[in-house]
């Protein structure tokens, strides 16, 4: 994706992204960051159930099957659902950096229609880091990882502290996530989206 706004262009002194040494290995599934997340959680009956895997460097691949619950126009995926799939995939990149970050800006280009029943193949990568800002891009392809591009996005994520969620989330969900005995799942519950 070519940056369409200055906000998506990293400054000249931005750094190349560095994969955290404790990040999941290439090919390893990333799993859900939170059971009730609309994008990746298994606890959402009409959610995307996005299946993401760590790639090489600071990249992620993911798949999402468009169901009738995701349509806008008859037989076609809703554009907002496609933007959500891109946002979820881009947010998964932060797990490879081992930072908690939220979407600051997301710009989406819709290139071709995505029919219901399609498996959308998503690829995302971090392109630069500058202070608390993480610059990244993603594409969604039809028919396979090398198929035609249907959607693409550029994003800036902003690193935050866990207090961002604790101070703003509903107390009952925050308590449930914080009491999870699985330390990795507990940390991942607070990794993406404002």
Over residues 68-96, the mean pLDDT reads 94
Choice among 37-46, 101-110, 135-144 with the minimum mean pLDDT: 37-46
Average pLDDT, the chain: 85
The SS3 assignment for 103 reads strand
| Strand partners for 106 | 155
Nearest to 45 by CA among 75, 67, 74, 76: 67
The model's pTM is: 0.83
């Amino acid at each position: 994706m070519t940056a369409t706004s200055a906000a998506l262009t990293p400054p000249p002194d931005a750094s190349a992204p560095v994969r955290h040494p404790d990040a999941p290995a290439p090919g390893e599934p990333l799993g859900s960051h939170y059971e009730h997340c609309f994008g990746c959680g298994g606890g959402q009956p009409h959610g995307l159930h996005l299946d993401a895997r760590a790639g090489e460097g600071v990249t992620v691949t993911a798949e999402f099957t468009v169901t009738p619950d995701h349509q806008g126009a008859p037989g076609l995926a809703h554009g907002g659902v496609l933007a959500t799939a891109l946002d979820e995939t881009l947010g998964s990149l932060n797990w490879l950096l081992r930072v908690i970050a939220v979407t600051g800006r997301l710009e989406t280009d819709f290139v071709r229609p995505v029919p219901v029943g399609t498996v959308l193949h998503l690829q995302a990568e971090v392109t630069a880091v500058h202070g608390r800002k993480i610059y990244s891009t993603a594409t969604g392809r039809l028919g396979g990882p090398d198929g035609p591009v249907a959607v693409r996005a550029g994003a800036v994520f902003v690193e935050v502290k866990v207090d961002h969620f604790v101070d703003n989330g509903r107390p009952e969900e925050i308590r449930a996530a914080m009491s999870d005995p699985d330390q990795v799942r507990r940390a991942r519950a607070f990794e993406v989206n404002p």
